[in-house]
């Protein structure tokens, strides 16, 4: 092959490499592989980040569905459940043919389950089960579907799912877990016999399963609920023999001791109590008394009086020499007098004796007296009485009093035991709805809203006519509001409204209406909320909950921008309010005027709020807003008076901003020295404040906005000098460069840009500053400034083309270089933006054209025209025209110029120039008609 041909091929290969690098940009393969490797290495956050970037940059890539799916799974693994749901949202519409569609519902369901959105999880798992053909995902979905139904208290539904799963699954672990859940569901559903069968199967068929040892405990609980005390004791024995370390062991030992005691198996009962002492005595003080009482009763039965006395004395001090009957009779002398409390020591002694009747009477009387005197010992006595006298007609009352005392005394664990006993032992009591309600209240106070919901739900379902049903509905609404399920909450408040008679149903009914309105507000259903709030206010403006309703009515109108209606509602609240609500309503009225730019009215309303303030903090808050309103109306002198009034208050949250606004007002009055003193005061009181530097910076911004660029520069320079090193000073230095640029002082602007860039290479704004600097250099046409800028940038940044490329490209445009080495380096760097690489190719093509290499330049121009939109593509098309002109092909040159008109119509300056050049060329080649048409077009 001839040498010339070889050289030409090499040059063409080099050009092709440059063009490929320019066109293809960042590699999608690399990004996807990085995400997949991170996923495989369980680096979930890294994986999700890579996949998210892949989807943003390559949304049309065939692997976008895989990236979306794996990214969502990575979010779930990283416990970022909301992002997982967001990633999977609309997956079926975006990728209808994706291979991952059959798993999307599973991960959606898991995320919703983790967020306790049981209903949403249920829907997702049902969808997964319906469409899944993968056994593992199908069975796991069935398991979680059952768990979701459990959480929704659909025991029958959960049981049906678990039974289906047991029939189809071949996984021993999954079947064992399912059987365990099945037993729990059946136990919750009140089907103790079925639960016993389930747990029995777990013991016989899956002895190695980790939860199998607990089965004996739950079997015992089931037998106990059925009243089969002997069988329950046997199962408790089995569980205790496992010696499992779990929270159930303490309960098992106590229950076994009680049952053994009832069966008169004294030694066995003592054995369990001894085991409890060894394992739990130091950690469960609230149950220690129960152990001692059982132990005492056993000792008494066994005739071990000394041991019984020792045990009992550890709880209640007493005189061991007194006889039971003497103590009880002596106590009677105090009953009915104003010194009843004096009977307690003797009654307590009388509870320790062989006569159970006297002991019971003594315990009940002592407990009542102590409870009425708010002594927590009373609850313990009453609990002991209830435990020891299961057939006594006073037992229910004793448990009820013990519960109230424990709850009031801050002993929720013992209170829970009492209320559980009441509900279990007295299912036909007329007070059962109240017991359920109290158990719900207790659970709610302990943070267990799910348990509370269960009890409130039983009331509204089974005892809807009970007096507590109204409150139960309201409590359910409250819980759902706390869970931010506002619409669901409003539904239960609506039931409370219906049951109570609404606004005509007294305080409870009006409160239910108000609560429903607030739930609607929080749920975004403002129209419904407004209707309810209006009904309260209009029915009786002075009635209960009317002031609160009027205030919230004002808030919702305010939030929706209806400031006139908001003021009317606030005025209603103001007429009847006092205290906190009066201040808030007046203060919010000020905001309605403020939002309408009615500065004087706003100032007056805030002033009224200040007069009604309950404390200095509120007064300062209102006075500060008075000042802000006046300042907004440019009444700087009056604003200063209000700021000073707010600042008379000592330490409070508005002081820093009040000082700042005062200094700002002084600056606007041109009282510079006073503003400086105020700023110094602010810096002394709030040394970490960022507001001081903002004052001169803000003055510079005002000057910039009004086109007073020289004044703006002075303020920016003042910020930089007075507050060096602060973030605001750094911003001010860069804004000064922009101000110089806008003022037309290219030399000063270039100097400022250069200094800022060199001193702040790590600043996030550096890249944007360099590009602004480069654009200015291009527009100025000042080649000497471009050369200076290029030298500074290269000296400071070296090979950091990510920052230096814009300046190099500006320099190359103004001072065409002899060598294209720098431009080729930019073109090859795939980490740079496509725009920079494309421009470097354009300038390389221009260089080839200047050197007479029209063919070489045209190859690059054609690729840029085809693949790069905007200015670069238009300039490349212009370069094509000039290359044809350089070869003397005037017709082709004219046609190339005309192509700019329809290929890049938005590049108006290039279009206008192209029309002029095309007209000139058409005339030169004798195509006069076309030249005339172009002239007419230009004239129009």
pLDDT tens for 140-182 read 888 888 888 888 888 898 888 888 888 888 888 888 888 888 8
Domain limit, last residue, from 413, 428, 456: 413
Is pLDDT of 431 > 80? yes
Residue with tokens 């799910």: 450
Residue 844 included in any domain: yes
Residue with tokens 């099945």: 182
- 3-state percent breakdown (helix, strand, coil) of the chain, nearest 5: 80, 0, 20
User: Mean pLDDT, to the nearest integer, of 414-421?
Assistant: 86
Are residues 296 and 400 both part of a single domain?
A: no
User: Mean pLDDT, to the nearest integer, of 323-343?
Assistant: 67
Residue 521 included in any domain: no
Residue 310 included in any domain: yes
Are residues 838 and 918 both part of a single domain?
A: yes
Is pLDDT of 665 > 50? yes
Domain limit, last residue, from 284, 299, 315: 315
pLDDT at 482: 84
User: Mean pLDDT, to the nearest integer, of 839-860?
Assistant: 85
What distance in Å separates the CA atoms of residue 503 and residue 515, rounded to the nearest whole number?
Answer: 12
Contact 476, 457 (CB under 8 A): yes
Question: What is the total count of domains within the chain?
Answer: 3
Token digits of residue 39? 């996923």
What distance in Å separates the CA atoms of residue 185 and residue 196, rounded to the nearest whole number?
Answer: 11
Token digits of residue 284? 């469960």
Are residues 867 and 936 both part of a single domain?
A: yes
User: What percent of the chain stands above pLDDT 70?
Assistant: 91
pLDDT at 322: 44
Helix ranges (H only) for 501-562 are 506-522, 526-539, 546-559
Are residues 298 and 351 both part of a single domain?
A: no
**Averaged pLDDT of the chain:** 82
What distance in Å separates the CA atoms of residue 759 and residue 737, rounded to the nearest whole number?
Answer: 14
User: Mean pLDDT, to the nearest integer, of 235-254?
Assistant: 82
Residue 601: pLDDT band by 50, 70, 90 thresholds? very high
Domain limit, last residue, from 388, 413, 438: 413
User: What percent of the chain stands above pLDDT 90?
Assistant: 8
Instruction: Tell me how crowded residue 9 is: count the other CB atoms within 10 A of its CB.
Output: 11
Residue 306: pLDDT band by 50, 70, 90 thresholds? low
CA 8, distance to chain mean position in Å, is 63
Are residues 308 and 364 both part of a single domain?
A: no
Residue 436 included in any domain: no
Token digits of residue 150? 């459990």
Provide the 3-class DSSP secondary structure of residue 301. Answer: helix
Residue with tokens 């009282």: 671
Residue 254 included in any domain: yes
pLDDT at 331: 66
* Domain encompassing residue 252: 247-315
pLDDT at 49: 92
Higher-confidence residue of 210 and 77: namely 77
Residue 396: pLDDT band by 50, 70, 90 thresholds? confident
User: Mean pLDDT, to the nearest integer, of 764-771?
Assistant: 86
Instruction: Tell me how crowded residue 693 is: count the other CB atoms within 10 A of its CB.
Output: 25
Give me the numbers of helices (H) and strands (E) for the chain, helices first please.
Answer: 52, 0
Residue 715 included in any domain: no
> Per residue in 27-42, pLDDT tens?
889 889 999 999 999 9
Are residues 331 and 392 both part of a single domain?
A: yes
pLDDT at 14: 32
> Per residue in 8-27, pLDDT tens?
443 333 333 333 333 344 58
Are residues 332 and 306 both part of a single domain?
A: no
CATH at residue 870: 1.25.40.10
Are residues 881 and 864 both part of a single domain?
A: yes
What distance in Å separates the CA atoms of residue 718 and residue 728, rounded to the nearest whole number?
Answer: 11
| Nearest one of 621, 569, 538 to 577, comparing CA atoms | 569
Are residues 929 and 878 both part of a single domain?
A: yes
> Per residue in 547-576, pLDDT tens?
888 888 888 888 888 899 889 988 888 888
Is pLDDT of 316 > 50? no
pLDDT at 5: 40
In sequence order, what are the residues at sequence separation of 6 or more whose Cβ sits closer than 8 angstroms to the Cβ of residue 503? 509, 510, 513, 535, 536, 539, 540
Are residues 835 and 927 both part of a single domain?
A: yes
Contact 233, 259 (CB under 8 A): yes
In sequence order, what are the residues at sequence separation of 6 or more whose Cβ sits closer than 8 angstroms to the Cβ of residue 326? none
Residue 636 included in any domain: no
User: Mean pLDDT, to the nearest integer, of 389-394?
Assistant: 87
Instruction: Tell me how crowded residue 85 is: count the other CB atoms within 10 A of its CB.
Output: 20
Token digits of residue 342? 């004096």
> Per residue in 788-830, pLDDT tens?
888 888 888 877 888 888 888 888 888 887 767 888 888 888 8
What distance in Å separates the CA atoms of residue 811 and residue 790, rounded to the nearest whole number?
Answer: 6
613: left (phi over 0), alpha (psi -120 to 50) or beta: beta
Residue 769 included in any domain: no
pLDDT at 111: 92
Are residues 825 and 886 both part of a single domain?
A: yes
Are residues 926 and 820 both part of a single domain?
A: yes
pLDDT at 18: 31
């Amino acid at each position: 092959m001839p040498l010339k041909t070889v050289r030409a091929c090499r040059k063409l290969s080099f050009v092709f490499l440059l063009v490929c690098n320019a066109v293809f940009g960042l590699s999608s393969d690399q990004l996807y592989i990085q995400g997949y490797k991170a996923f495989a290495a369980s680096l979930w956050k890294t994986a999700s980040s890579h996949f998210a970037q892949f989807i943003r940059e390559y949304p049309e890539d065939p692997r976008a569905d895989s990236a979306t799916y794996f990214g969502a799974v990575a979010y779930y693994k990283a416990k970022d459940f909301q992002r997982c749901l967001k990633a999977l949202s609309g997956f079926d519409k975006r990728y209808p043919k994706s291979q991952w569609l059959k798993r999307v519902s599973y991960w959606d369901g898991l995320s919703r389950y983790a967020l306790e959105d049981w209903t949403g999880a249920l829907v997702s798992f049902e969808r997964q089960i319906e469409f899944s053909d993968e056994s593992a995902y199908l069975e796991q979905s069935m398991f979680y579907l059952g768990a979701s139904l459990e959480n929704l208290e659909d025991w029958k539904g959960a049981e049906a799912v678990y039974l289906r799963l047991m029939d189809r699954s071949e996984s021993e672990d999954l079947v064992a877990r399912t059987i365990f859940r099945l037993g729990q569901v059946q136990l919750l559903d009140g089907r103790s016999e079925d639960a016993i069968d389930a747990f029995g199967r777990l013991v016989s068929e899956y002895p190695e399963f980790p939860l199998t040892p607990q089965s004996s405990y739950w079997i015992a609980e089931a037998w106990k609920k059925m009243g089969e005390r002997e069988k329950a004791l046997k199962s408790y024995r089995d569980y205790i023999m496992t010696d499992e370390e779990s929270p159930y062991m303490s309960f098992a030992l106590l229950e076994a001791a009680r049952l053994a005691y009832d069966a008169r198996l004294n030694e066995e009962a003592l054995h369990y109590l001894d085991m409890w002492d060894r394992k739990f005595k130091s950690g469960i003080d609230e149950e220690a008394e129960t152990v001692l009482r059982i132990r005492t009763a056993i000792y008494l039965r066994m005739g071990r009086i000394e041991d019984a006395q020792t045990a009992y004395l550890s709880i209640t001090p007493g005189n061991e020499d007194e006889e039971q009957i003497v103590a009880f009779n002596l106590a009677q002398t105090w009953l009915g007098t104003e010194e009843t409390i004096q009977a307690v020591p003797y009654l307590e002694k009388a509870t320790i004796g062989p006569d159970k009747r006297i002991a019971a009477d003594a315990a009940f009387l002592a407990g009542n007296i102590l409870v009425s005197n708010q002594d927590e010992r009373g609850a313990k006595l009453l609990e002991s009485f209830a435990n020891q006298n299961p057939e006594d007609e006073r037992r229910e009352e004793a448990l009820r009093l013990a519960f109230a005392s424990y709850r009031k005394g801050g002993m929720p664990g013992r209170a829970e035991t009492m209320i559980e006993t009441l509900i279990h032992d007295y299912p036909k009591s007329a007070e059962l709805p109240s017991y359920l309600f109290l158990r719900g209240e207790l659970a709610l106070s302990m943070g267990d809203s799910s348990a509370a919901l269960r009890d409130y739900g039983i009331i509204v379902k089974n005892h809807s006519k009970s007096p507590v049903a109204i409150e139960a509905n309201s409590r359910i609404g409250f819980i759902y509001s706390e869970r931010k399920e506002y619409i669901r909450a409003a539904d239960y408040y609506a039931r409370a409204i219906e049951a109570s008679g609404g606004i005509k149903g007294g305080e409870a009914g009006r409160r239910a209406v108000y609560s429903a309105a607030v739930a609607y507000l929080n749920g975004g259903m403002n129209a419904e909320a407004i209707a309810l709030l209006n009904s309260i206010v209009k029915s009786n403006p002075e009635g209960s909950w009317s002031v609160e309703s009027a205030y919230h009515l004002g808030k919702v109108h305010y939030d929706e921008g209806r400031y006139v209606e908001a003021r009317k509602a606030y005025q209603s609240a103001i007429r009847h309010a006092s205290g906190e609500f009066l201040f808030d309503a007046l203060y919010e009225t000020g905001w309605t005027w403020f939002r309408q730019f009615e500065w004087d009215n706003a100032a007056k309303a805030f002033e009224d709020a200040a007069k009604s303030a309950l404390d200095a903090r509120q007064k300062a808050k209102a006075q500060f807003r008075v000042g802000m309103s006046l300042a907004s109306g440019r009444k700087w002198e009056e604003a200063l008076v209000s700021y000073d009034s707010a600042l008379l208050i000592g330490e409070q949250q508005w002081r820093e901003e009040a000082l700042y606004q005062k200094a700002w007002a002084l600056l606007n009055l041109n009282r510079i020295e006073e503003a400086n003193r105020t700023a110094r005061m602010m810096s002394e009181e709030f040394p970490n404040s960022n507001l001081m530097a903002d004052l001169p910076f803000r003055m510079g911004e005002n000057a910039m906005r009004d086109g007073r660029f020289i004044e703006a520069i002075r303020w920016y320079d003042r910020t930089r000098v007075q507050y060096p090193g602060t973030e605001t000073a750094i911003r001010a230095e860069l804004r000064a460069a922009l101000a110089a640029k806008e003022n037309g002082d290219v030399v000063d602007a270039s100097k400022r840009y250069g200094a800022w860039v060199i001193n702040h290479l790590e600043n996030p704004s550096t890249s944007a500053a360099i590009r602004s600097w480069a654009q200015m250099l291009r527009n100025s046409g000042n080649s000497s400034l471009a050369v200076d800028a290029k030298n500074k940038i290269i000296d400071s940044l070296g090979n950091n083309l990510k920052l230096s490329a814009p300046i190099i490209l500006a320099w190359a445009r103004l001072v065409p270089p002899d060598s294209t080495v720098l431009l080729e380096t930019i073109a090859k760097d795939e980490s740079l933006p496509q725009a920079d690489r494309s421009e470097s190719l354009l300038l390389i093509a221009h260089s080839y054209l200047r050197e007479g290499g029209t063919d070489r330049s045209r190859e690059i121009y054609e690729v840029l025209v085809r693949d790069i939109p905007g200015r670069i593509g238009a300039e490349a098309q212009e370069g094509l025209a000039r290359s044809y002109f350089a070869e003397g092909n005037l017709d082709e040159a004219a046609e190339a110029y005309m192509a700019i008109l329809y290929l890049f119509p938005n590049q108006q300056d290039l279009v206008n120039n192209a029309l002029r050049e095309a007209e000139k060329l058409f005339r030169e080649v004798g195509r006069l008609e076309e030249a005339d048409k172009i002239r007419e077009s230009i004239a129009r």
